[in-house]
Amino acid sequence: MNPIKIGEVDKVTITTLVDDNSGFNSQFLGHHGLSLLIEITSGDIRKKILLDTGQSEKAILFNSRHLNIDLNTIDMIILSHCHYDHTGGLIGILKEIGREIPVIAHPAIFRQTYSVDPYLRSIGMPLENTKENIRQHGGHLLLTDKPLNIMKGVISTGEVERSTDFENKGINTFNIKENRISHDDLIDDLSIIINIRNKGILVISGCSHAGIINILKHTVKITGIKDVYGVVGGLHLLNSSDLIIDKTIESLSNMNIQLVAAGHCTGLNGQYKLSKAFDKGYQMLHSGKKLEITSK
């Protein structure tokens, strides 16, 4: 496969609209889940992408007001995967925007998925997130398992190839299809790839269920760009052993990554070990946290 030529961007600003962590001494609300507002400038084009919608729109609307962010100016929504803590606020956000807007996701996002941790419950998209209801509220669905060009310098990963031997042991969730119970391998997990001029690739993920190293390897493979500048998002090291966290950090270090900004499902042990390994290159996400990355 020939690499996809994605072009470059000049500037990326990422604002955490909601994270599990409200931040110390903060005016913002924390709520289990994630929603990131990504503003991208490439030449005279400027676009705003909302990656994920938290588990409800309430904290996002509250935090946006305190950040002076007008959600009506969002150009598109990307859903990283089906989990309720990333998709639960979708209809509420669409109502707030009140006009037609692209909603990009993997086609498998509509399957129902369950967990028994700590008891049997549905953890996929809420039932109100039907294709019909999303369309009725202005969501123009673009469903693909392939990388999708978003704008100059920005693509989605599409379905991520699982190539490492230590990642993607999965989380203990399952599907029920034609009366059969099967393990849910979260094939719908996708991330955003941004190529920052003279810096390299920035990958922004929701939960990294495909494994952050798998996601980065997949990114290098599909773009042909070897310089990975940074990763932002949930790294899902929450229940990972020290061995897996250490292997993840070793792989990130081998890629010479400059920025790791992690939150949500990264877990305290993961946060601690990443902050020790990357020192000033490490930042902890929390509601209201703003990151600004400009080309050199």
Report, in Å, the least distance between residue 207 CB and Fe ion: 3
Closest to Fe ion by CB, 83 vs 137, is 83
The CB-of-81 to Fe ion minimum distance in angstroms stands at: 6
CB of 209 to Fe ion, least distance (A): 6
Number of residues that bind Fe ion (CB under 5 A): 4
User: Which of 33/139 has CB closer to Fe ion?
Assistant: 33
Q: Is the peptide bond before 118 cis (omega within 30 degrees of 0)?
A: yes
Answer yes or no whether residue 85 interacts with Fe ion by CB under 5 A. Answer: yes
Of 147 and 206, which CB lies nearer to Fe ion in the complex structure? 206
When binding is defined by CB under 5 A, the residue of 155, 203, 207, 232 that contacts Fe ion is 207
In this complex, which beta carbon is closest to Fe ion, that of residue 19 or of residue 85?
Answer: 85
Given the complex with Fe ion, which of 39 and 52 has the nearer CB atom?
A: 52
Q: Report in angstroms the alpha-carbon separations of 126 from 61, 84, 133, 268, 273.
A: 19, 6, 11, 28, 34
Alpha-helical segments (H) within the chain: 58-66, 84-87, 90-97, 131-136, 212-223, 242-254, 268-278
| Stretch touching Fe ion by CB under 5 A, among 52-60, 141-149, 194-202, 262-270 | 262-270
67, with CB counted inside 10 A (0-12, 13-18, 19+), is middle
Backbone angles phi, psi at 41, to 5 degrees: -115, 125
Within 8 A by CB and 6+ apart from 168, the residues are 162, 185, 209, 210, 211, 214
Is 189 a binding residue for Fe ion by CB under 5 A? The answer is no
List 47, 83, 137, 273, residue binding Fe ion (CB under 5 A):
83
Q: What angle do CA 212, 210, 247 make, to 5 degrees?
A: 40
- Kindly state the smallest distance separating residue 196's Cβ from Fe ion, in Å: 25
Binding residues for Fe ion, per CB under 5 A? 83, 85, 207, 265
